[in-house]
Structure 1
Amino acid sequence: MDPHLRVFVTVAEKKNFSRTAEELHMTQPAVSQYIQALERTMGTKLIERNNKFVCLTKAGEIVYHHAREILGLYTHMQSLVDDLMKVASGNLSIGASYTFGEYILPQVIARLYGQYPLIQPSVTIGNTTEIAESVADRHLDVGIVEGEFNDERLNTEPFAEDWMHIIVPADHPLTRQKQVTIRDLKKENWIVREQGSGTREATEKMFKKLGFAPDHLMEFGSTQLIKESVEAGLGISFLSNWAVRKEESLGTIHLLKMEGTPIPRKFTRITQDTPFQTKALEVFINELHRLEPLFSTENLGKE
């Protein structure tokens, strides 16, 4: 691994030469020498520095972006070589959209850790767009996103089916109606996720399938906040069966039953476009497939 790139990336992220020296167990003059050597190699100044701050030049931003990718590739290469000689171990960076990451992924990691305690997982939660970009930029080894996702930069594979429900407060008037109409839904206050979220995409598809656009729409950036808002009577929403199982069992949220619902969608696994996988990633993917029976219609709504 090129130590100049490692030092440069650390300076760019720490924004401080002394903190970089501490992180890398170097002296501060040595850090400065590495940066100066890299700048001579690149033929331009990469970092602006004074007594108060350190920041990247335009050229520095370009080098930082590619240096992170180079270091990531090196680490991945080393992990693959190590895997030839050892059992599954090492770092595994996992990204997941909110529904899968908060309500399903903990089960996967618990099983994985029970069998492979030398694997060190780290988890990033974000919306579908954010996770896909992080996998494509090689900041994450694997991502699980909501919906059928395609990106020519990535390997994508739908691997499980999720079920989406219209949810209302337990004491909502619609729970007492024999038949819920599109007109009833249209006039409700809908609470939806932000653009870029797989749940928001599924919600938009549901509006289109049922043939209406809500009169009132509120956009929240958290599934938990949406659930609590529905429980408080602020509005209704459209969420995964996995996200609302606890609230439904407690009787604080009601799954509205009407023709055309619940609506299925897919969870999709995304990985970098490479034929090689670390053993840690390989066993993680195997754990995902072991959970597939939980997504069957027989288990819909079960704890």
Structure 2
Amino acid sequence: MNVTFRQLKVFVSITQEGSITAAAEKLFLTKSAVSMALAELERQLGWKMFDRANKQLILNEQGRRLLPLADELLDRSEAIMQLFEGDDATNGNLRIGSSYTIGNHLLPTLLGDFRENTGYLHQSMSLSNSTKTCRMLLDFELDLGFIEAKVSDKRLKVEPWMTDEMVVVCAPSQCPASDKPLELDALEGKSWVLREPGSGTREYFLTEVAANLEEWTEAFELNSTTAIVNSVIAGLGLTVLSRRSVNAAVQDGRLSIVPLKHKMIRQFSLVYNTEKYQSPVFKSFREFAHSWTLGRE
């Protein structure tokens, strides 16, 4: 048996990109070269790694068994290549995924502080909703992620990271008239501007607010927090967002926070795939991320 790193790299790229064409573009190879590398890998192993259906490649059970091992070998080979490029172990590419809220308001500062403290400059950051971040972790496209939604897949290790205050906001002209905090039922019959399915912010609204209302209407569904804020400012409905996301608009009077008796706090989490190889820089960053939160809540 003579399996090569090139064959494994092609295999992992196909699983991540979803097709031979996309993998070829990512690797700067021809489609025929990628097809030949995959065919030779399957010949060497004596098993097909993908099921072929309607011109699509679907990772099968044998492929799922190979993926974590292939990913680890490639990560370790990269670590060997970079071992002597620096003076410490924090070399190698670190791929970080994040929900939009964390990615916009916390992750840049965290990464900046990590770089300053370690001198490590090789990382990539991908922003999406919590569901997509988890999917990318399971597909070995990320090393770790920061999310705000709950996770059910047992392959993902979830570690509490920071807490986040959620608030109901509206245009000042639409704010309920009250000098005292309101019960949630004061929001009955309101129209809401919400994030898309898969978003942790939308999940929070559905479980913590909508579940306590008998009647509510979705006015708009948007995948941008900025678009939601602007829609609410325009009077198109109420919304529930992280206080971090609305502070500026509240401070300059474009938005008002609806005072509620119900304190709304959610958990941010650091999450990673337990089947994926944990490089020295992964361990260093994970430890730094947890210590970084001290005094920042």
Residue number in structure 2 paired with 1:2: 5
* Superposed CA offset, 1:191-210 (max 9, x none): 1222222111211222267x
The unaligned stretches of length 5 or more in structure 1 are: 49-54, 297-303
2:218 is aligned to 217
> What is the aligned-residue identity percentage?
24
The reply to whether residue 123 of structure 1 matches residue 125 of structure 2 is yes
CA contact (8 A) 1:92 1:119 kept: no
2:21 maps to 1:15: yes
Alpha-carbon spacing, 1:117–1:212, altered in 2? closer, same or farther (3 Å):
same
Quote the offset at 1:96 in angstroms: 0.9
Partner of 1:75: 74
Unaligned ranges ≥5, structure 2? none
Alpha-carbon deviations, 1:70-98, whole Å to 9, x = none? 54221233456666983312211111112
Match of 2:244 in 1: 242
- Note the C-alpha offset of 1:132: 1.4
Partner of residue 109 from structure 2, selected from 107, 110, 115: 107
Q: 2:232, 2:239 within 8 Å by CA — same for their partners in 1? A: yes
Contact 2:71 2:277 in 1 (8 A): no
For the 8 Å contact 1:39–1:46, the answer to whether it is kept is no
Structure 1 partner of 2:286: 285
What does the per-residue CA deviation read over 1:32-63, in whole Å, with 9 as the maximum and x for residues that have no partner? 75455346545779899xxxxxx9945x4437
Whether contact under 8 Å (1:47, 1:56) holds in the other structure is no
Contact 1:111 1:287 in 2 (8 A): no
Structure 1 window deviating more from structure 2 (183-192 vs 69-78): it is: 69-78
CA RMSD of aligned residues (A): 3.7
In structure 2, the residue matched to 1:177 is 178
| Residues 247-256 or 272-281, more deviating | 272-281
Paired residues of 2:161 and 2:267 also in contact (CA < 8 A): yes
Question: Deviation at 1:274?
Answer: 5.2
- Give the counterpart letter for 1:266 in structure 2: Q
Equivalent in the alignment of 1:272? 273
Distance 1:32 1:277 in 2: 30
How far off is 1:184 after superposition?
3.6
Q: Which amino acid aligns with 1:207?
A: V
CA contact (8 A) 2:195 2:224 kept: yes
Letter in 2 for 1:15: T
**Take 2:289 and 2:97, find their aligned partners in 1: how far apart are those partners?**
13
Cα shift readout 1:217-268 (whole Å, capped 9, x = no counterpart): 132222222111111111111111111122222221112112113x111111
Higher mean C-alpha deviation, range 119-128 or range 142-151: 142-151
CA contact (8 A) 2:49 2:63 kept: no
TM-score (ref. length: structure 2): 0.78
* Higher deviation after alignment, 107-116 or 4-13: 4-13
1:114 & 1:255 partners in 2: Cα distance? 36
TM-score, normalised via structure 1 length: 0.76
Count residues in correspondence. 283
Cα–Cα, structure 1 residues 184 and 30, in superposed 2: closer, same or farther, change >3 Å?
closer
